[in-house]
Amino acid sequence: MPFVTEELWQALPNRKEALIISSWPQTSLPRSTHLVKRFENLQALTRAIRNARAEYSVEPAKRITASIVGSEEVIQYISEEKEVLALLSKLDLDNIHFADSPPEDAKQSVHLTASEGVEAYLPLADMVDISAEVQRLTKRLSKMQTEYEGLKARLNSPKV
């Protein structure tokens, strides 16, 4: 709705020309590529954890444990934003662990590579009910085998 935007623009003080022909505003804020990279790493980590939660159908309100692995520098700035990461990714704030090597239970965890030098390990036991997941996958396998057999029978039929 460009007319509404223009009306709001004209209501601002010291606006003499139309928004459509105005120059892009200049900022005096310093732009640090190092800080931008830090934010992008945190953003990628948050996205990876949220995608894993969705993929494994983790209840939205459930808080999960995470082990974040990276270099000393990465761990330092991500640990400074621990509360933000926990809030946005629905992690248990008291059970976020930072290390420079994978945890001992890495084989029973979902391994996420968020960006260069940032990895996360989410224990499967925290995310899903293992017996329910096995039951769901067994059901799905049975359904797929039935479909496979039906397609195989149709392909082998002389009527085709």
State the CATH number of the domain containing residue 66: 3.30.2320
The residue assigned the tokens 């496979």 is: 148
Looking at 23-32, 89-98, 148-157, which range is the least confident one?
23-32
**Per-residue three-class SS string for 3-43:** HHHHHHHHHCCCCCCCHHHCCCCCCCCCCCHHHHHHHHHHH
- Residue 46 domain-assigned (yes or no): yes
Q: Are 81 and 42 in contact (CB under 8 A)?
A: yes
Among 39, 117, 109, 110, which residue's Cα sits nearest to residue 75? Answer: 117
Q: Are 69 and 141 in contact (CB under 8 A)?
A: no
CA–CA separation, 5 and 17 (whole Å): 13
- Residue 7 domain-assigned (yes or no): no
Please list, in sequence order, all residues whose beta carbon lies within 8 angstroms of the beta carbon of residue 119, skipping any fewer than 6 positions away.
Answer: 68, 69, 70, 102, 111, 112, 113
Domain of residue 111 covers 31-127
pLDDT at position 1 is 61
**Total number of domains constituting the chain:** 1
Which residue did the predictor score with more confidence, 75 or 129? 75
How far separated are the first and last CA of the chain, in Å rounded? 57
- Residue 62 domain-assigned (yes or no): yes
- Residue 103 domain-assigned (yes or no): yes
pTM of the full structure: 0.68
**Whether the predicted pLDDT of 149 surpasses 90:** yes
> pLDDT tens, 134-144?
898 899 999 99
Among 51, 96, 101, which residue's Cα sits nearest to residue 78? Answer: 96
- Residue 136 domain-assigned (yes or no): no
Q: Specify the 3-state DSSP secondary structure of 53.
A: helix
- Residue 154 domain-assigned (yes or no): no
Calculate the average pLDDT of the chain: 88
CA–CA separation, 155 and 160 (whole Å): 7
